[in-house]
A = this chain, B = another copy of it.
Amino acid sequence: MRFAFTQDQLDFAEAVSDLLAKECDPAAVRVAWENDTGRVPGLWSRLVEMGVVGLLAPEGVGGLGMGEIDLVRIVYEAGRAALPEPLSTIAGVVVPAVRDHANTADAERFLSDVCAGTSTIALGLAANPLVVGAAGAAMFVLEADDGLHLVDPDVVEITPEQSVDGSRRVSRVNWNPSSATLMCGPSGAAEALDRAATFTAAELCGLADTMLTLTTGYVAERKQFGVPIGSFQAIKHHCANAMLAVEFAKPLVWRAAYSLTQRDPDASLHASMAKAAASDAADVVGRIAMQCHGGIGYTVEYDLHLYLKRAWSLISQDGSAASHRRRVADRVLG
């Protein structure tokens, strides 16, 4: 029994964190809000070089052949930086879905490209009305009633929409499922949702941590009535409540990733618990962060909103807290 990351996992995550501290600071995220792609120029290839993107892909196609538990701490770091790249979707969901379910030729071709960073694949799960990064995707993994399909962009009609998070380029997609594109059945789709929920939960924990860090930093500095506002008990308790929410969400998220790695029969239940807790934590922390910042948090010149709006988007992505609690209830309560 050991419930902690290995030193290797922590080192890998720290290396990614160091990269993001340099290449994905708030100024870089602001660039992604304004540019054509919603992404940070050059950053994806750095992540590809580090092996992060192909972490779950077999070594034979240029991946690292590692597991979800190795990736989850890295995705958490991506959340902390509000990384505006489709990391959790591609590395966490698309790669294992193609790896496990595409035919050998497709798998080899698409995974090689993804691991080499030469193309991306967009993901459309039934739980989400919107697809992120549809424009420019080389392929789509799309869910229909009969399972996951691997779909060519030529036959996907894309209608762009605008998200509150300027770096999220979301679209509605329209397409016609056919047996020719079917990659796997509903169980494969359910597994994809479990992975999506788990990695989105990890991102949300990272976002929550950064919002809390911004908040504790601000309230320790900001003075009113002659003292730092962080010395007021109401502010202290807000911050403690924020920490409580996120610190008790994280173990559920790490466990969900572990269960995916282990192909635990309860992996789906664990993913739902993780997403429910992380969505709630990010919501609570975001509310508290806004309140403790006062007016400054309500401006776009201050950085808080970059993390807050990402969190708002991800809170309902891949299933809301309520929907995942319903799944837990169905499983546990019958």
Q: Which residues of A contact B (CB under 8 A)?
A: 232-234, 237
Chain B residue nearest in CB terms to A235: B233
Q: Which residues of B contact A234 (CB under 8 A)?
A: 233-234, 237
> Which residues from B are CB-within-8-Å of A232?
233
In the complex, chain B residues whose CB is within 8 Å of the CB of A237: 234
* Minimal beta-carbon separation of A89 from chain B (angstroms): 36
Tell me, in angstroms, the Cα distance from A233 to B234 when the chains sit together. 6
A169–chain B nearest beta-carbon distance, Å = 36
What residue in chain B is nearest A237 (Cβ atoms)? B234
Q: Sort A-B residue pairs by CB-CB distance and give the 5 closest, nearest first.
A: A233-B233, A233-B234, A234-B237, A232-B233, A234-B234
Question: How far is it, in angstroms, between the C-alpha of A233 and the C-alpha of B232 when the chains are bound?
Answer: 7
Complex-state Cα separation, A232 to B233, whole angstroms: 7
- A292 nearest CB across to chain B (Å): 14
CA distance A237 to B236 in the complex (A): 13
Q: How far is the CA of A232 from the CA of B234 in the complex (A)?
A: 9
Residues of B within 8 A of A233 (CB): 232-234
A-B contact pairs, 5 of them (CB 8 A): A232-B233, A233-B233, A233-B234, A234-B234, A234-B237
Once bound together, how far apart are the Cα atoms of A234 and B238, in whole Å? 10
The complex places the Cα of A234 from the Cα of B234 at a distance, in Å, of: 6
A232 to B, closest residue via Cβ: B233
In whole angstroms, how far apart are the Cα atoms of A237 and B237 in the complex?
11
